[in-house]
Structure formats: structure tokens, C-alpha cells
Amino acid sequence: MRASEEVGVRYMQAWEEKYYEREEGREELLKELAEKKYAKGMTVKEIADLLEEDIDTINRLLGQSNNAEENAE
């Protein structure tokens, strides 16, 4: 019974690693897209609407503080 528990634990660890890798990849893609749109002159609000994310997420991805709200309007 102990061996099957170890297999189960290893399976869950592998699943979690893949999950986090996908999340990191998603974040990297969102950041890349947000940076490209920002460089082309889009506002943070426009980018958030386009990528269907909230403004705080876009500000975080762009490395901006929450005081960057003037870019959102």
C-alpha cells in the first residue's frame, strides 16, 4: 500500500509542476502582449479591455504602480 501512496504523491507533484508552468507561460504571454500594445500607444484601460484582464493586472505586468491610473483614462 505504501508504494501506491508514493506513486500518487509523485503524480500530484508532477501535475502541480505542469499547472504552475502553464500559469507562468500564460503570465509571460500576457506580459508580452501588454508590453507590445503599450509600446504602440494603447492605454492601460484599452489593453485591459482587449486582453480581458483587470487594470491592476495590466499595471502589474507592465511594472507600473497603481498610480498609473491616468494611463487608464
Q: For the chain, how many structural domains are there in total?
A: 1
| 66 three-state secondary structure | helix
Average predicted confidence (pLDDT) for the chain: 88
Query: Angle at which helices 2-39 and 55-62 pack, to 10 degrees?
Result: 90
Buried (b) or exposed (e) across 29-65, using 16+ Cβ within 10 A? ebbebbeebbeeebbbeebbeebebebebbbbbbebe
Query: What confidence tier does 65 reach under pLDDT thresholds 50, 70, 90?
Result: low
Enclosing domain of residue 39? 2-71
Q: pTM of the prediction? A: 0.69
Torsion angle of C-alpha atoms 43, 45, 46, 47, degrees rounded to 10: 90
